[in-house]
Structure 1
Amino acid sequence: MDLRAKAASGLKWSAIERLTTQAMQLIVMLVLANMIGPKAFGLVGMLAVFIALSQVFVDAGFSSALIRKVDCTEADFSTAFYFNVLVAVTCYAVLYIAAPLIASFYQLDELTELLRILGLNVVFSAFSVIQRAKLTIEMDFKTQAKASLLSALLSSSVAISMAYHGFGVWALIAQMLIMSACNSLFLMLFHPWWPKERFSRDSFNYMFGFGSKLLLSGLIDTLYKNIYQLIIGKAFSAKDVGYFTQANQLTMVPAATLTTVIQRVTYPLLSHIQNEAKRLDQAYLMTLRLAALVIFPLIVGIGAIATPLIHLVLGEQWVDSIPYVMLLCIGFMLMPIHAINLNILQVKGRSDLFLKLEIIKKSVTTVMLIVTVPLGVKAICIGIAIQSYIALLINTYYTGKLTTLSPIKQLINIFPIWCFALLSNALAYWTINNITQSYSQQLLGTIIVAISLYFLMLVLFERDLIKQFTRLIKPSKA
């Protein structure tokens, strides 16, 4: 199978895994939101930053180092596995001991027990890192899809059953733990692997040399992605965290899911052609445009239908999250562009620039937080959207230095798609909301009109891009 066919197959199965799994989990979250309310989501949201940071430590950039390395040995995989498990156990021990202090910080004693149970997620996930890396190197996303779908189905069933029987926030905890544990188990069953070599100092030095900068970058990025729940929980209330968390999930989960699909396929793909400068630049630019083609209208569309969607699906108890959804969509639509830019830095082996970029961007985030927190949660959401566009300028500047694609050239290639996405959804929103006050009619009407307008604009101005997209999803045998 040639590289293009591998990429198309990988994209298909990666899409099936991430889209189906995340769609299932998002539906479950919406069902649970109706059953257990904003406070339960707020409690879990307050703990999210500590779990996420631990998981970054567990990976430590080693999986990216393995994927990038052309000639991985069994010693490399075994060394990474030993490191992952050791760090996972250490992180869990720290979380267990620190749980009362974290609960005291929020002044909510119930968080102690919640964190000590939820922290097991870190240990479970450590056992799937190597399997995922090996399968990604082989671009075998079909096996990963089977494991994820089965895990999502089992965990979702248990969570809904627990919520129905009055377990409240513990339904969310169970959903996360079962998902992680089952995923590791199924990957081990479908793609059996166990370390066969001893710990290798040479392998560790290589992976840590590359991965350490990604580790620092990941820690900074993860901290700032989750710091909003921490700050809102401290400055406001658990309910406010719940509103923000739900808005964040409705917008970020689809954006992050589609971005992950693209990123997981393009990283090994671009790594294969890292020494062919012209081909690499062409593939990179086309990836940017194809990602924007799909994700821009989808994420902006969520903002356009936020009002009827939340009223119909979540109910009146969640209406305070509507403006947050609308604002966050404007920023999160750029997630795939950020991710693909950062992929290039890793493909080029510039994990030092990766770290430098994170420090610069998070400095901007810090300033934005200082300005917006005193103004309320809505102002925080506006700040998130603004900093996303500032980050775009920073990312494209640095990738422009490593390729022949200047920031202006990159932005020019995605700007028309950005305009079409915003314009088609804005016109649909304005038109339908002036015709009917029925939430169900607003939901359906906005979707139909927005899709029709967007497709019309693409046919008129971006026919070549439509052809490229068609070729990708239906590659020729040649």
Structure 2
Amino acid sequence: MSLERKFANGVAWMSAGSWIEQAINFAVFALLARLLGVEAFGILAMAAAFVLLLEFLVRESVSEILLTNDALSTERLNSVFWLMVVFGFGLAGLLLVASGPIADFYKEEQVAPLIIALSPTVPMIALTAVPVALLRREMQFRALALRAVAGVIAGGVVGIGMALSGFGVWSLAGQRVTQVAVNVVMAWAAVSWRPGLHISSTHVREVLHFGHRMVGLRAAELVAVQMPSVIIGASLGPTQAGLYSIAWRVIEIASFLVTTPLRMVTLPAIGNVMRQGAAAPKLLQDIMRMTGLVVFPAFAGLAVLAEPALTVLFGPKWVPAAPVLSIMCLFGVYLCIDKVQQTYCLAAGRVGVLATLAWCEVALGIVLIYFAIPFGLTASAIAFVAAFLLMWPLRFRNLASIAGVHTASLISPHVAPLILAAIMASGVYVVSRQMADVSGIVVLLAGTVFGLVLFAGLAFLCLRDRLELLRSFVRPQTEAPENSA
């Protein structure tokens, strides 16, 4: 099977799995939001800010070395696995020790037991890091998609059942632990490899050299996206933290739907191209040209329709989060584009500068949010997004240096879809203003359909080459059979 066909199949499976997973997850989330209310989500956001940070450190950090352009060996696999086990259980122990001080910091007693209840997910995810990396390297995305869907269904059943039984915020903890447990079982069932004790000091050193940079990068990324919840929760209280949490959750789901299929497939695809000595920068640029067709119109439309979207999905009590959601859509654009571009640096094993830039974003974000907090939630969201947009040009420059191309060649493909998305958003805004007295669901549906039709028409007129590129990946041409002698 050609790389294009593998890439298309991988994106198809990951898209189906991710979209079904998020559709179920979003439905469960919306129902739980109605059942539990703002304060419960605010308290969970306080506890989950630290648990999710450590989960992400073990999910996509040390094990990413298995997706680079290096060859695999039994010693390397065993080295990665046992280092992940030690890392995962060590982080879980850190959570247990820190749960009390974290609760004191928030002045919320429920935070400590919630952190303790959620802490097992960290070593559980560490145990699946190698099987998941192997499935990604071999581009076996069907198994990953089925695993994700099964986990979110099981977690949803447990979470809703607990909420209806009166467990309150503990329903959210039960949902998460169940989801991860199912993911663990299905990941190991999908691979034949099993860990052994045969490791080498050379591989351990290589893994540690790569791993500490990846951990630094992932830690910075998670601190960056969780720090607003921490600062807002400590400064403005659980209600404001809940409003921010709901806006971030929408952005997280939207970016997950767009980015995850591409990111999960792009990294092993670029790694394969590099191992074959082919032109990996061209593949990256083609993928980014296609990404812009989805990212810019999706978040531009969401920014304009933030209020009816929140009303329909979560109810009128969440409408105060609409300005924050509109602002956070800019971060959604950044997140989607940067995550896909980042895969090239990871495949090349060049992580150090990425980690440095990520920590600079954290420092800048903390400073800007600190000065914005006295002006309220919306000002804090603006400060958060500004930190990333100010640092973004440096990320483009770093990628250009690694890929050996001009920075302008990475930025210019985004100009046209950005302009078309702005035109589309203006049209959607005009249409939605004309429907001010209509119910939220009608405004949401009408605005979405109008935006899709308008952007599709603009893309057909102005970006036909990208539509053809997309078609070539979705339906790659098969090679003509050789003539028999």
Tell me which interval the TM-score lies in, with the shorter structure as reference length. over 0.9
* 2:451 alignment partner in structure 1: 450
Question: For the aligned residues, what is the CA RMSD?
Answer: 1.8
| Whole-angstrom CA distance in 1 between matches of 2:29 and 2:426 | 27
Q: How far apart are residue 62 of structure 1 and its match?
A: 1.8
Do the aligned partners of residues 386 and 76 (structure 1) sit closer, same or farther apart at CA in structure 2, a change above 3 Å counting?
A: same
Mapping 1:408-423, distance limit 5 Å: 408-423=408-423
Do the aligned partners of residues 81 and 348 (structure 1) sit closer, same or farther apart at CA in structure 2, a change above 3 Å counting?
A: closer
Q: How far apart are residue 57 of structure 1 and its match?
A: 4.3
For the Cα contact (< 8 Å) 2:18–2:261, is it kept in 1?
A: yes
For the Cα contact (< 8 Å) 1:292–1:336, is it kept in 2?
A: no
For the Cα contact (< 8 Å) 2:68–2:348, is it kept in 1?
A: no
Q: For residue 260 of structure 1, what is the amino acid of its counterpart?
A: T
* 2:468 alignment partner in structure 1: 467
Secondary structure (helix, strand or coil) at the match of 1:167 reads: coil
Mapping 1:155-304, distance limit 5 Å: 155-274=155-274, 279-304=279-304
* 1:345 alignment partner in structure 2: 345
Bigger mean CA deviation after superposition, 457-466 or 92-101: 92-101
| Whole-angstrom CA distance in 1 between matches of 2:275 and 2:163 | 53
* 1:25 alignment partner in structure 2: 25
Matched, 1:47 2:33: no
Q: How far apart are residue 276 of structure 1 and its match?
A: 7.5
* 1:406 alignment partner in structure 2: 406
Mapping 1:366-385, distance limit 5 Å: 366-385=366-385
* 2:334 alignment partner in structure 1: 334
TM-score by length of 1: 0.95
* 1:66 alignment partner in structure 2: 66
| Whole-angstrom CA distance in 2 between matches of 1:135 and 1:446 | 39
For the Cα contact (< 8 Å) 1:267–1:343, is it kept in 2?
A: yes
* 1:4 alignment partner in structure 2: 4
Q: How far apart are residue 424 of structure 1 and its match?
A: 0.4
* 1:13 alignment partner in structure 2: 13
Q: How far apart are residue 248 of structure 1 and its match?
A: 0.4
Do the aligned partners of residues 342 and 229 (structure 1) sit closer, same or farther apart at CA in structure 2, a change above 3 Å counting?
A: same
Deviations 1:415-439 (A, max 9, x none): 1101212220231122232244212
For the Cα contact (< 8 Å) 2:79–2:207, is it kept in 1?
A: no
* 1:365 alignment partner in structure 2: 365
Q: For residue 454 of structure 2, what is the amino acid of its counterpart?
A: L
| Whole-angstrom CA distance in 2 between matches of 1:436 and 1:365 | 36
For the Cα contact (< 8 Å) 2:32–2:160, is it kept in 1?
A: yes
Secondary structure (helix, strand or coil) at the match of 2:274 reads: coil
| Whole-angstrom CA distance in 1 between matches of 2:262 and 2:203 | 28
| Whole-angstrom CA distance in 2 between matches of 1:215 and 1:67 | 15
Tell me the matched-pair count: 478
| Whole-angstrom CA distance in 1 between matches of 2:148 and 2:413 | 34
Bigger mean CA deviation after superposition, 355-364 or 259-268: 355-364
| Whole-angstrom CA distance in 1 between matches of 2:387 and 2:179 | 32
Q: How far apart are residue 147 of structure 1 and its match?
A: 1.2
* 1:388 alignment partner in structure 2: 388
* 2:80 alignment partner in structure 1: 80
Bigger mean CA deviation after superposition, 59-68 or 268-277: 268-277
Q: For residue 450 of structure 2, what is the amino acid of its counterpart?
A: V
* 1:129 alignment partner in structure 2: 129
Q: How far apart are residue 453 of structure 1 and its match?
A: 1.0
| Whole-angstrom CA distance in 2 between matches of 1:124 and 1:454 | 43
Q: Percent same amino acid at aligned positions?
A: 21
| Whole-angstrom CA distance in 2 between matches of 1:32 and 1:211 | 37
Q: For residue 142 of structure 1, what is the amino acid of its counterpart?
A: R
* 1:424 alignment partner in structure 2: 424
Q: For residue 455 of structure 2, what is the amino acid of its counterpart?
A: Y
| Whole-angstrom CA distance in 2 between matches of 1:26 and 1:342 | 27
TM-score by length of 2: 0.94
| Whole-angstrom CA distance in 2 between matches of 1:148 and 1:34 | 24
| Whole-angstrom CA distance in 2 between matches of 1:178 and 1:409 | 45
For the Cα contact (< 8 Å) 1:60–1:212, is it kept in 2?
A: no
Do the aligned partners of residues 91 and 277 (structure 1) sit closer, same or farther apart at CA in structure 2, a change above 3 Å counting?
A: same
| Whole-angstrom CA distance in 2 between matches of 1:206 and 1:28 | 42
Secondary structure (helix, strand or coil) at the match of 1:334 reads: helix
* 2:442 alignment partner in structure 1: 441
* 1:311 alignment partner in structure 2: 311
Q: How far apart are residue 300 of structure 1 and its match?
A: 2.2
| Whole-angstrom CA distance in 2 between matches of 1:362 and 1:99 | 23
Bigger mean CA deviation after superposition, 29-38 or 189-198: 189-198
Q: How far apart are residue 153 of structure 1 and its match?
A: 0.9
Q: For residue 406 of structure 1, what is the amino acid of its counterpart?
A: H
Q: For residue 472 of structure 1, what is the amino acid of its counterpart?
A: F
| Whole-angstrom CA distance in 2 between matches of 1:59 and 1:198 | 23
Bigger mean CA deviation after superposition, 162-171 or 403-412: 403-412
| Whole-angstrom CA distance in 1 between matches of 2:389 and 2:44 | 29
| Whole-angstrom CA distance in 1 between matches of 2:377 and 2:178 | 32
Q: Which runs of 4+ in 1 moved over 6 A?
A: 275-278
* 1:355 alignment partner in structure 2: 355
* Unpaired runs of at least 5, structure 1: none
For the Cα contact (< 8 Å) 2:60–2:129, is it kept in 1?
A: no
Bigger mean CA deviation after superposition, 59-68 or 281-290: 59-68
Secondary structure (helix, strand or coil) at the match of 1:274 reads: helix
Q: How far apart are residue 340 of structure 1 and its match?
A: 2.6
| Whole-angstrom CA distance in 1 between matches of 2:473 and 2:184 | 31
Q: For residue 350 of structure 1, what is the amino acid of its counterpart?
A: R
